[in-house]
Structure 1
Amino acid sequence: MSDAPATLAGRFAIVQASVADACVRAGRDPSEVALLPVSKTFGADTVREAIGLGWRRFGENKVQEIQAKAAALADENVSWVVIGHLQTNKAKAVAALASEVQSLDRLDLAVALDKALQTQGRSLDVLVQVKTSPEETKHGLAPDDLLSFLDQLKAFSSLRLRGLMTLAEASEDESRVRACFQSLYRLRDTARQAGHSADRLSMGMSGDFALAIAEGSTEVRIGSAIFGARSYKA
């Protein structure tokens, strides 16, 4: 994908073909792996263009971006997915605007989200983020704490557990990247055996999605390969 086409439609097509090819090489049906376009740092006009191509579900890191884009795209039926680290003081906004949170990683956040959702009469799909990488910059629940956390989540009726999410180690060593994905896959199986509904595995991004698919990912989060290089200006 180094020679990406200039148009958004062209890049979407290339990414979809690459995901399908990775599935075939892994001996998997491409229908088993969903694509979540990650629109963070790109404006509402770009998202609207993606909507015109048939996409309605987008991943975002920051709640402020969701608020701005949701307002600009109020005439569209968009599902916003929170994939970034989430502060508890953003729970009300998330409860009002998001359809899913993939970065649930601690009890106080679950409490805040449930309280806000109950007030608004809504419910939310959630994935529990697990820290499988040794990097200090990565967020997530400690693997050893997963089962007890999932048990605690049962108390929150507005939070619908759907699966697990992780960020792999940023490494040139494929074995280290694969190890992160393999860890989440095993944890998902352990959670299922314990009676938890955690079928989905959100793992893999623009640089490592093929490895994630080979290790059992059911959803890849692709941003720059679709939308292009990001600008992180304030």
Structure 2
Amino acid sequence: MKENYECIKSQITDRTKIIAVTKYHTVEETLEAYEAGIRDFGENRTEGFLEKRKALPDDANLHYIGTLQSRKVKHIIDDLYYLHSLDRESIAKKIEQYSDHIVKCFIQVNVSGEESKHGLTPDQVPDFLERLSTYSKVEIIGLMTMAPATDDATLIAEVFDRMAQLRETLQQSNSDNLNISELSMGMSNDYQIAAEKGATYVRIGSKIMESR
């Protein structure tokens, strides 16, 4: 696992943080990843999120990377500091209702336009940002997207390019001075392309944790 992590680190720049996706892995395997030097972990189920948070040392950052149901926000809010899938105001309302701290959020954007993917269209993001500006416990720090499941590197690069361009447009036109600087994009099959296009977080499962 340590060799996997070090290999990936050598292939991307220091500006890109690696999130080890542990959703299919045990607490023991997650702790092994921590011992390998990883400090950012991603979970997409509330049960797994709570289990891994309880087991990991305090200096580990746990990111919720899956679709979060409104009714489950209150169950994880005490440990929720990074949310990569905000695309509904109902989630922001629950964070505001239950949280006693600020949650750093990425707006999920469906840049590829695939019906199978969650997220806002790029055109919907400015209005969504404006509505979220009234929530004191929701801090928008960036955007998140997933590229199509394809071997076409050109197509993947185009999707990540559009994401980076959207971030730049939002930063330039943002009247509320929000610092939308982060880009969460890229997984095990396309993280190098994502890093080249400006990803500040890549979410990697099998290439670090290995397949189960």
TM-score band, normalised by shorter chain:
over 0.9
What's 2:97 paired with?
115
Which of the residues 131, 147, 151 maps onto 2:130? 151
2:18 and 2:40 in contact (8 A); partners too: no
- 1:94 equivalent to 2:73? Answer no
Correspondence for 1:199 among 181, 194, 199: 181
1:167 aligned to 2:146?
Answer: yes
Give SS of 1:35's match. strand
Aligned partners of 1:61 and 1:85 also within 8 Å: yes
C-alpha RMSD over aligned residues: 1.5
Report the Cα distance in structure 2 between the residues aligned to 1:79 and 1:13, rounded to whole angstroms.
19
Structure 1 residue 51 displacement after superposition: 1.8
Q: 1:55 — aligned with what? A: 38
Aligned length: 209
Q: Structure 2 CA distance, aligned partners of 1:89 and 1:210? A: 36
Show structure 1 runs of 5+ residues with no match.
Answer: 1-7, 20-29
Deviation at 1:209, TM superposition (A): 1.0
Q: Is the 8 A contact 2:2 2:37 kept in 1?
A: no
Q: Residue 68 of structure 2 aligns to a residue in which SS?
A: coil
Residue 202 of structure 2 is aligned to residue 220 of structure 1: yes
Counterparts of 2:46 and 2:14, CA distance in 1: 30
Show the counterpart of 1:128.
107
Deviation for aligned residue 1:68? 2.0
Tell whether 2:168 aligns with 1:189: yes
How far apart in 1 are the matches of 2:53 and 2:16? 26
Larger-gyration structure (1/2): 1
Structure 2 distance, partners of 1:34, 1:69, is 19
Q: 1:69, 1:227 → 2: CA distance?
A: 15
Equivalent of 1:11, from 4, 17, 21?
4
Q: How many Å apart are 1:125 and its aligned residue?
A: 0.6
Indicate conservation of the 8 Å contact 1:79/1:98, yes or no: no
TM-fit CA distance, 1:132:
0.9
Q: CA deviation at 1:145?
A: 0.6
2:28 to 41, 45, 61: 45
Counterpart in 2 of 1:24? none
TM-score (norm 1): 0.84
